[in-house]
């Protein structure tokens, strides 16, 4: 006989979020996971939008992450049929970002932090973090998500790599002061002594230049 699990809200989400109740059934012996469906509508601060809109065309690409942080990059006006790469959504200024997420949460230690691994577009497997190993609370294949304090959130490198237009494995990232959103731009090879603007940090995304034939 399948068992029924009820939904619950997890990892200290903001009051503006709306948890939607649902029920699922699992076979006997299956891991007891709680599924949480969250839908949030968020506005992008003007200062974040303007920072990401490098070409000043009033359009940027936006992607949410397990930590709740938004990754912002400039839209590619040179490819009007696909302004943003598939993981990102195109948004105009003052246009709200509607985020829908489905989580499997096991925050057993109730510290508001879990480990997340993306299994598909917008789908994550979540397990509790290990507080006995604070230097590595999550397995290598997982990223930390939730109410982490005094640390910046883990952002999947493949999202940042979407801004690596020159394919050298490096991008520039600025964490916006008020929102903590990430603005990502490609590094400037024309300025080898200063690849990134002063307010940005250089991040390695693991992408490699394809070998020349």
Give the tens place of pLDDT for each residue, 153-163.
667 788 888 89
Residue 179 in any domain: the answer is no
Residue 121 in any domain: the answer is yes
At 78 the pLDDT is 82
In eight-state DSSP terms, residue 52 is H
pLDDT score of 2 more than 60: no
Residue 200 in any domain: the answer is no
At 197 the pLDDT is 92
**Structure token digits, residue 84:** 């943003």
Phi-psi region of 68 (alpha: psi -120 to 50; beta: other; left: phi over 0): left
At 182 the pLDDT is 93
Residue with the larger pLDDT of the pair 42 and 187:
187
Average pLDDT score, the chain: 73
Residue 23 in any domain: the answer is yes
Residue 163 in any domain: the answer is no
CA distance 130 to 134: 7
How sure is the predictor about 98, in pLDDT bands with cuts at 50, 70 and 90? Answer: confident
At 19 the pLDDT is 35
At 25 the pLDDT is 41
Torsion sign over Cα 11, 12, 18, 22: positive
Residue 170 in any domain: the answer is no
Number of domains within the chain: 1
Q: Which helix (H) or strand (E) holds 157?
A: helix 157-160
Mean local confidence (pLDDT), 120-130 = 73
Residue 175 in any domain: the answer is no
**81 CB-near residues (< 8 Å, 6+ apart):** none
Which domain does 7 fall in, by range? 1-152
Residue 126 in any domain: the answer is yes
3-class DSSP assignment, residue 202: strand
What percent of the chain is predicted at pLDDT more than 90? 27
């Amino acid at each position: 006989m399948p068992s029924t699990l009820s939904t619950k809200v997890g990892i200290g989400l903001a009051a503006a979020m709306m948890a939607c109740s649902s029920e699922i059934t699992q076979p006997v012996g299956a891991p007891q996971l709680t599924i949480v469906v969250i839908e949030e509508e968020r506005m992008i601060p003007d200062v974040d939008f303007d920072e990401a809109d490098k070409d000043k065309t009033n359009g940027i690409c936006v992607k949410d992450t397990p930590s709740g942080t938004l990754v912002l990059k400039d839209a590619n006006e040179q490819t009007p049929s696909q302004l943003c790469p598939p993981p990102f959504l195109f948004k105009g200024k003052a246009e709200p970002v509607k985020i829908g997420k489905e989580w499997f949460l096991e925050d057993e230690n109730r510290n508001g932090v879990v480990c997340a691994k993306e299994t598909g577009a917008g789908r994550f497997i979540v397990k509790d973090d290990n507080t006995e190993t604070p230097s590595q609370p999550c397995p290598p294949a997982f990223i930390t998500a939730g109410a982490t304090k005094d640390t910046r959130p883990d952002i999947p490198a493949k999202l940042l790599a979407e801004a690596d237009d020159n394919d050298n494995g490096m991008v520039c990232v600025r964490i916006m002061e008020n929102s903590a959103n990430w603005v990502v731009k490609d590094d400037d090879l024309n300025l080898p002594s200063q690849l990134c603007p002063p307010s940005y940090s250089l991040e390695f995304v693991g992408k490699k230049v394809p070998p020349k034939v």
